[in-house]
Amino acid sequence: MDRPARNIALVPPPDRRQSETALAIARGTARLLRSLGFSCISELPLPSGRRADLVALNERGEIWIVEIKSSVEDLRADQKWHEYRAHCDRLFFAFTQDLPCEIFPEDTGLIIADAYGAHMHCEAPEHRIAAATRKQMTVRFGMAAALRINRLVDPQGHVDFWE
């Protein structure tokens, strides 16, 4: 039997497109989010087909998406970040202290980060997602987390997800 969930690439292969700066920002931002009571997953495929840099989920079921920007050019080239808002309660940009805050959209939160930590420069406005979207994102988050752990425990047992 072919199940639709089996066809979703919840565990994408590492694409190695992220710069060292972007990886450092992600690490520091994930540390901040954990300190705020969130669990994080990086590079989570969304129902829209896009892939979010960081998706965070807390025990109340709140879902935050953080888009990582390592340079001004990275932000200017990104035309897809608007689509992430439909999949989260709050949308943030995370970046290094070298970038000016003024270049980021006003209706998003801002996180300034490095490899060792981050701080919330400004909160993102809340825009609660629909219950059906929340359920879909929560299931996607949980399945991806479990599959990633299983892949670590049994790498040979998950080869078919890469093909």
Give the tens place of pLDDT for each residue, 5-62. 444 455 455 555 678 899 999 999 999 999 999 999 999 999 988 999 999 999 999 9
Q: Which domains does the chain have, with CATH numbers?
A: 20-153 (3.40.1350)
Rounded Cα distance, 100 and 87, in Å:
26
Grade residue 1 by pLDDT with cuts at 50, 70 and 90: very low
If you search the block for the tokens 């050019």, which residue do you land on? 73
Grade residue 160 by pLDDT with cuts at 50, 70 and 90: low
Grade residue 158 by pLDDT with cuts at 50, 70 and 90: low
Give the tens place of pLDDT for each residue, 114-139. 999 999 999 999 999 999 999 999 99
